[in-house]
Amino acid sequence: MKTSHVFFVIGTLALLLGATWHPTQADVSEDTTLGTLTCRIIHPDGKVTLLHRILPLLGIQFLLAFFDKLREHPQQIPRLMGLLELSGVIPGEMNKDFNVRVFSYGQGTVYVPTFDKSNQMNGFFGMMFKPIIYNYGFQGITMVWQKKLIPPAKSFWKKLGRQQGIVIGFRGLDIQLQHDSITDTHLMLGKTLVILHQDFFL
């Protein structure tokens, strides 16, 4: 799966959402500082494609506007996941191990596993335990869709505000944005084996 294909999928959905953002002249001319985009594509077989780019504030703001559109239109998230399945980024419906779909977005601190020489994700206790740990502030949102073997066959839950969680066995897109003018921002979109979540009701 080529990295360019992933961004084509995301760009297509951005057009479907009408995620237009019009920068002001001040946005364009006054702030020339640079930030970073780190995108990890964690494939169904556990291999990882890493993309790291330096972006101006304008590029960071565009991506934040797109992420906010996804937050405002959650009904579009399953559509995006369907496109990612067709593109081979996340496991398809035939893979019954990955039956939890997750969208998690917020500002705060995040731990993402490192990589070994074979470009596989490492974890705390070996290759089978590969956690992504997040801790968001007041603007955090996590949505989970899960299929179950016993009724009800499907369940959905959503958490808003301050929260933290651990995702184990994640497959999909993991994106981090960093810039001096914003709190570090994190987005996860894909499927996982397990999600352990806690919110603070604050």
Q: What is the pLDDT of residue 118?
A: 60
Angstrom distance (rounded) from CA 99 to CA 131: 17
- Tokens describing residue 92: 């398809």
Q: What is the DSSP letter of 200?
A: -
Question: What is the structure's pLDDT at 149?
Answer: 60
Average pLDDT by stretches of 10, the chain with 202 residues: 56 54 51 83 81 86 85 84 79 68 92 69 53 90 79 75 90 90 90 80 44
Cβ neighbours of residue 98 under 8 Å, at least 6 residues apart? 44, 90, 91, 169, 171, 191, 192, 193
Angle between helices 77-86 and 3-17 (to 10 degrees): 150
Query: What pLDDT sits at residue 96?
Result: 62
Residues 6+ apart with CB under 8 A from 116: 122
* The pLDDT value given to residue 148: 64
CB 176 within 8 A of CB 41: no
Q: What is the pLDDT of residue 127?
A: 42
CB within 8 Å of 176: residues ≥ 6 apart: 36, 37, 38, 39, 110, 112, 184, 185, 186, 187
Q: Are strands 141-147 and 182-192 parallel, antiparallel or unpaired?
A: unpaired
